[in-house]
Amino acid sequence: MLFKQQALLRQKLFVLGSLAIGSLLYLVARVGSLDRLQPLCPIDGRFGPRGQDEIPLRALQFKRGLLHEFRKGNATKEQIRLHNLVQQLPKAIIIGVRKGGTRALLEMLNLHPAVVKASQEIHFFDNDENYAKGIEWYRKKMPFSYPHQITIEKSPAYFITEEVPERIYKMNSSIKLLIIVREPTTRAISDYTQVLEGKERKNKTYYKFEKLAIDPNTCEVNTKYKAVRTSIYTKHLERWLKYFPIEQFHIVDGDRLITEPLPELQLVEKFLNLPPRISHYNLYFNATRGFYCLRFNIVFNKCLAGSKGRIHPEVDTSVITKLRKFFHPFNQKFYQITGRTFNWP
C-alpha cells in the first residue's frame, strides 16, 4: 500500500514538473517572439551605414524607457557615457503657430525612431531672460539622444516674436523650420477658447470673441487683437525670410493632421531627410476623443491631453464672414510664398 502511494506521488511530481518545464519553455519562446516584433524599425530597414556608426536595433528601444529615465536625471555620467548618449542642439524646430497643432505634430514625429523630442516648450529664443543664459543652457534643456538621432523642440511663440529669426540664425543658419497652420479664423477662435477656459478656471469674466475681434468704433477687424494678428501668417513669415530661404521651411496642414495625419507626417519625414518609418500601424482613431492616438509598439499607446480639441463657442456668422474676408488676401500671398495652397474660404 505504501509502495503504491509513493509511486502515485512520484507520478504526480513528474506531471507537475513536466508542466512547469513546459510553461518555462513557452515563456522563453514567447519572449523571443516579442523581442522580434519591431514594427517601427525592422532589421532589414535600419537607417545609417552599417558598422560602428549604426544604431543597434535594441538601442532604439531605450528611447521609450532608458532615455526617459535619463531625462528625469536618474542616470549617472558613466551610464550616459556607456550608452553613447548626448544632448544635442535641435536640427529642426517647430516654430508655430499657436493653436495650429504644434503639440500633436511633435508627439506624432516622436513616433519615428530617429526623432527625440524636447518634452517641454523651452522658450529660449523668445524669452530675453532665458536667451541671456546662453546656448549651453539651451543645450542642457534638450533630451538625451544617440548621435544619429535628431532633436526637435517646439515653441509656438517663436513664429510671432520679432527677435527670434535672427537668434535662431546665429545658432544654426541651416536649421530646418516647421510651421503648422490652420484656417486662420478657426485658429483665432481656438486661441480665444483656450484663453477663455483659463479665465473660467479662475472664476474670471471675459469678453465675447466678437467684441475682441471687431473694433467697436470702426466695425472693422481689430488687428490689435493678438489672436487676429497671429493668424496673419504671411506677415510673420516675411520677417523669417529675411534670414532663411523658403527651402528651409516646411508648412504642415494642421487641419489635415487632425483628419488624415499620415500623409502630412510622411511629407515631414521627407523634408527632414528621414527614412520612412511612421505608418498606419502607429496611428489609430479614438472615437471617444475624436482624434487620432499614437501606437509606439504592442504595449505602449498614447493619446493627446484632454485639453486638446476644446469645443469652440458659438460665434456670430457675420463676424466669421468679416474675418474670412479680411484674411483672404493675406492667405493668397501665403500660398504664393510657400507654394502650398489650402482650401481656406
Going by the annotation, the residues of the binding site are: 99-103, 182, 190, 292, 308-312
Q: Would you please indicate which residues are annotated as catalytic (active-site) residues?
A: 99
H/E stretch holding 286: strand 283-286
Pairing relation of β-strands 283-286 and 176-181? unpaired
- The DSSP-derived string for 44-113 is GG--S-SSTTSPPHHHHHTTTTHHHHHHTT-S-HHHHHHTT-EEPPPSEEEEE-TTSSHHHHHHHHTTST
Q: For residues 310 and 198, what is the distance between their CA atoms, to the nearest angstrom?
A: 12
- DSSP annotation of 314 reads P
C-alpha cell at 272: 527632414
Cα separation, 218 vs 206, whole angstroms: 22
β-pair partners for 87: 144
Question: Which residue positions form the known binding site for 3'-phosphoadenylyl sulfate?
Answer: 99-103, 182, 190, 292, 308-312
Helix axes 317-338, 233-240, angle to 10 degrees: 30
